[in-house]
Amino acid sequence: MSIQLPLPGSWPRNMSWRDPNAELEQLAKDKLDAKAEIYAVMERLANKHCIPLPEVHGVMLGYVDDALGDLTFRREEELARERDEAGDIC
């Protein structure tokens, strides 16, 4: 029977195993996917009710992009901060 010694200090709780760069890239891809889905829904609605497509484009640029940016802003900032801090360590 062997004894397992504890790791020093609080190392396991403070160690981050994720890659902030990869998470930022995935978040950007997911935002693009969300925009595409929202656009498709709005395009169907516009076609069904004879609303010109430039109206859809205006709403996408004026509101949807901003809303998705607002939704993900804090998380993007956290990941960017982790990425910058990890760059100082390595």
Ordered DSSP codes for 12-61: HHH---S-HHHHHHHHHHHHHHHHHHHHHHHHHHHHHTT--HHHHHHHII
pLDDT score recorded for residue 85: 87
7 in any annotated domain: no
pLDDT the model gives residue 73: 98
Instruction: Decide if 44 is inside a domain.
Output: yes
| Assigned domain for 80 exists | yes
pTM over 0.75: no
Residue 1 resides in a domain: no
Tokens standing for 58?
A: 């205006």
pLDDT in tens, 15-66: 557 799 999 999 999 999 999 999 999 999 999 999 999 999 999 999 999 9
Q: Is residue 68 part of a domain?
A: yes
Between 38 and 86, the higher pLDDT residue = 38
Residue range(s) defining the domain that contains residue 37: 19-89
Tell me which H or E stretch contains 72.
helix 65-89
Report how many domains make up the chain: 1
Q: Return the pLDDT at 19.
A: 92
